[in-house]
């Protein structure tokens, strides 16, 4: 049952991240997210990096309090959030933006579609007119474009 809760929480976090990205980061906290769309080439860190706390703190609290008081389902939710955070770091920060040069390119159609959708998101440098706010669920048109490129 614990693994199911971790898995369900992980996928719920994709929708939570989409909502937060669209309505918080591109909304009232745009001032923190702006430097992610218009990066400062002289700094490795961005104000946008503070958003990890939005998920890290609840994850830590769920894991800690769930294990301390025997609320195992709460602990599993915390591990689901943590797992999504690790995926976010690896996919968004390492693979897409290559802030760490661990994974340069991929011939995997799905990973290329993720990168394409995110590139479309970043073509808008302003707060409005954004698209592709998710990370792991890719709009079909970008997956289809990469499938066509792979077949050619």
User: How does DSSP assign 107-149, residue by residue?
Assistant: --HHHHHHHHHHHHHHT--SSSS-----SSS--HHHHHHHHHH
CB-based burial of residue 29 (10 Å sphere; 0-12 exposed, 13-18 middle, 19+ buried)? middle
Whether 104 and 128 have beta carbons less than 8 Å apart is answered as no
**Per-residue pLDDT tens listing for the chain (152 residues):** 999 999 999 999 999 999 999 999 999 999 999 999 988 888 889 999 999 988 899 999 999 999 999 999 999 999 999 999 999 999 999 999 998 888 777 889 999 999 999 999 999 888 888 889 999 999 999 999 999 999 98
DSSP run (H or E) holding 84: helix 72-88
List the chain domain ranges. 2-151
């Amino acid at each position: 049952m614990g693994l199911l809760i971790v898995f369900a929480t992980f996928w719920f976090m994709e929708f939570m991240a989409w909502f937060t990205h669209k309505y918080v980061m591109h909304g009232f906290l745009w001032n923190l997210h702006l430097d992610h769309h218009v990066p400062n080439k002289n700094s490795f860190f961005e104000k946008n990096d503070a958003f990890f706390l939005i998920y890290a703190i609840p994850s830590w609290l769920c894991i800690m309090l769930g294990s301390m008081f025997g609320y195992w389902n709460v602990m599993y939710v915390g591990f689901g959030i943590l797992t999504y955070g690790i995926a976010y770091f690896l996919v968004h920060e390492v693979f897409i933006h290559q802030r760490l040069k661990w994974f340069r390119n991929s011939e995997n159609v799905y990973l290329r579609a993720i990168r394409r959708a995110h590139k479309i998101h970043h073509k808008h440098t302003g707060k409005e007119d954004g698209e592709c706010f998710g990370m792991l669920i890719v709009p079909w048109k970008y997956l289809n474009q990469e499938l066509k490129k792979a077949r050619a």
